Amino acid sequence: MELGLGMFGDNHYANGKPLPVGQRLQELMEEIKLMDELGLDFYGIGEHHRPDYAVSVPEIILAAAASVTKHIKLGSAVTVLSSADPVRVYQQFATIDQLSNGRAEITAGRGSFIESFPVYGYNLNDYDALFEEKLELLQKINNENPITWKGKFRAALNKQEIFPRAVNDQLNIWVAVGGTPESVVRAGKAGLPVIFAIIGGSPVQFQPLFQYYRDVYKHFKHDATKFQVGVHMHCFFGEDSKQTADEYYPYYSAQMDRVGRSRGWPAYQRNQFDFGRSKDGALIIGDANEAIDKILQMQELFGLTRFSAHMDVGGPSHKALMKSIEIYGTKIAPKVREALKK
């Protein structure tokens, strides 16, 4: 099982207002470099178009990261494919792949945030149709060159060559799924690896969706040796469990409320946070031993090939993030890998 991190580039706040993004972007480079030095397997950065996030173009962050890392895979988490041009997406990630000697990958999603649709001039009424068509085109570009293609939302391509190509003429493309059966069917039918975002409730509730994905993947006779499935969960690690939770809660709850205000959610409560940290909850926030047990629990529950720790929700300090990454790389990942070998 691969062990890595996902981030959204959550911005730091002071007096209720987001700070300039430059500091957060520079910090990201140090954080990614540390992940690479510690031997973590992959890093993903999200795409958002809001003041509480510092990153709207993951490709630029990943290209910069390629120059300061040697081994870690570099990908999006996610690319909002519905409001992007698949040709351009492929070219950008193929360029990162060339810069990094074959370490780039794409995680495509419909996007749980919708700000990119008006920014790039797309109609939200086409939310599902846009993603389905663009995912089909991205796969076609990844598998064929030149390509001939015609769709509804983009100009047709006629024997068009797309350059540059990825290092091995093939990018690894994941699909991010929030929990809808339709998304599971789409990914399974296409034979694409899936990463489930489990950020609330009880993870066990997702078990039928994981099995559904396996059934669809098998039904369409895709190569069983290429089967990949992952999970993305909110995580934060420290030396002392209670102290870590108490210090991180204000950052976490503040971000839940910032997102919640735009969606009509009630204010986030400490009891929600505490349940999330429990054995049955979806948060992995505490010390190394708690994290090891819960990650192994997720692997046993779902048969994972990838675990992604989403670690910067709410924009905690750079110092605290570096410590959390250090604990993940030196105390958690080695123990999880050792247990899985047994």
Write down the pLDDT at residue 41: 98
CA dist 136 and 292 (Å) reads 37
Helix (H, G, I), strand (E, B) or coil at 124: helix
Please report the beta strands in the chain, taking only residues with DSSP state E, as ranges in sequence order: 2-7, 13-14, 17-18, 42-45, 73-76, 79-80, 104-109, 147-149, 157-160, 172-177, 194-197, 229-237, 284-286, 306-310
Which amino acid belongs to residue 134? K
Residue 123 CB neighbours (<10 A): 11
Write down the pLDDT at residue 18: 93
Write down the pLDDT at residue 144: 97
Fold of the domain built from segment(s) 2-341: TIM Barrel (3.20.20)
Which residues does 25 contact at the CB level (< 8 Å), separation at least 6?
9, 54, 55, 61
Residue 219 CB neighbours (<10 A): 11
Q: Please provide residue 98's backbone torsions phi and psi, each rounded to the nearest 5 degrees.
A: -70, -40
User: What's the predicted TM-score (pTM) here?
Assistant: 0.97
Residue-by-residue pLDDT tens, the chain, 342 positions: 999 999 999 999 999 999 999 999 999 999 999 999 999 999 999 999 999 999 999 999 999 999 999 999 999 999 999 999 999 999 999 999 999 999 999 999 998 899 999 999 999 999 999 999 999 999 999 999 999 999 999 999 999 999 999 999 999 999 999 888 999 999 999 999 999 999 999 999 999 999 999 999 999 999 999 999 999 999 999 999 999 999 999 999 999 999 999 899 999 999 999 999 999 999 999 999 999 999 999 999 999 999 999 999 999 999 999 999 999 999 999 999 999 998
For residue 40, is it left (φ>0), alpha (ψ between -120 and 50) or beta? beta
Q: The tokens of 117 are what?
A: 């649709």
All structural domains of the chain with their residue ranges: 2-341
Which amino acid belongs to residue 208? P
| Contact in structure between 238 and 286 (CB atoms under 8 Å) | yes
